[in-house]
Structure 1
Amino acid sequence: MADMSFEGKGKAADLLQLVVFELGGEEFGVEIMNVQEIIRMPEMTQIPQSPDFVEGVINLRGRIIVVVNLSKRFNLQSRVADENSRIIVVEVGKTVVGMIVDSVNEVLRIPKSGVEPAPELVMSKVSKNYLKGVGKIDKRLLILLDLARVLTLEEVAEISNLA
């Protein structure tokens, strides 16, 4: 196996920097470039007649942000929010959305060569449609989410209108 050195010019382009979080007992990753910030669970205001995976809205320093429960979105067992629960604030298209996750574990870099397309029979309960691929880190497998696919264009538009 070749020595994998991350030093030197031009190597940063060969790396993915990911925010790693847990959801339903599995590890997921999203590219850090899409993440604006990670916050603790604040009080939320419910929105009548919103999709079931929309938990409500929050006021984040004067900006109204719709918060989506990823467990509900992916039909995973939803956990009661606790001190580890976080909201990852991301940009999907031109819309800023908060995504509730069970916990945020770390930020890490993996070589792009360590990412493979999601296999046909994905071991996750999450639909392959939402995935960019699977990252291999030592003995761990990390499910990489494609944020552009987590919400459809229609849902993004609906969420924009809710906010």
Structure 2
Amino acid sequence: MASKEYVLFKINEENYGIDIDNVENIEKIIPITRVPYTEKYVLGVVNLRGNIIPVVDLRARFSIEKKEFDDESRIIIVSVNDLKIGMVVDASSEVLRLESDDIDTAPPVRGNVHLDFVREIGKNEGRIIMLVDLKKILGLVEVEN
């Protein structure tokens, strides 16, 4: 059986996972500079060790009500198609290995953008973990509505 590691994060008490191969690092919230005329879910950019990185608010991207940043809030820096992008999440604190038997294809739900971002569903010790499609979340491919 093949297994894969995922970085887990939470939004609104729901568990999500990203393939660990796409994760560069996880940072506490740092100052974010707003950029005008961007999508509503784009918070702006950060200067991370001399690199300017765009930052996306996953709560806004998933159409979940805004929440003030707190001590648990994190920016997960991901790399997709040679692009580095930050994603603000409520919390991230775990790396989890899932066996292929514990992963199912996400059920098709038309018209629900939130679920269109979910590629697969992982199961671990009674938890459901939504394994996300980074390209769709980050707007690198169009989401069908």
- Does the alignment reach a TM-score above 0.5? yes
1:142 matched to 2:129? The reply is yes
Query: 1:20: Cα distance to partner?
Result: 0.6
Query: 1:82: Cα distance to partner?
Result: 0.5
The TM-score with structure 1 as length reference comes to 0.80
Query: 1:91: Cα distance to partner?
Result: 1.1
Deviations 1:86-114 (A, max 9, x none): 00000122211000000003111010221
Amino acid aligned to 1:74: F
Amino acid aligned to 2:128: L
Higher helix share: 1
Match of 2:93 in 1: 105
Q: Taking every aligned residue pair, what percent have the same amino acid on both sides?
A: 36
In 1, Cα distance between the equivalents of 2:65 and 2:53?
A: 24
Match of 1:59 in 2: 47
Match of 2:27 in 1: 39
Match of 1:71 in 2: 59
Contact 1:42 1:58 in 2 (8 A): yes
Higher strand share: 2
Aligned residues: 141
1:49 matched to 2:22? The reply is no
Structure 1 spans left out of the alignment, 5+ residues? 1-10, 156-163
Deviations 1:109-142 (A, max 9, x none): 01022100112359xx763321111001021110
In 1, Cα distance between the equivalents of 2:73 and 2:113?
A: 19
The TM-score with structure 2 as length reference comes to 0.90
CA RMSD across the alignment: 1.9
1:93 matched to 2:86? The reply is no
Among candidates 114, 120, 130, match of residue 108 of structure 2: 120
The verdict on how the C-alpha distance between 1:139 and 1:126 changes in structure 2, with shifts beyond 3 A counting, is: farther
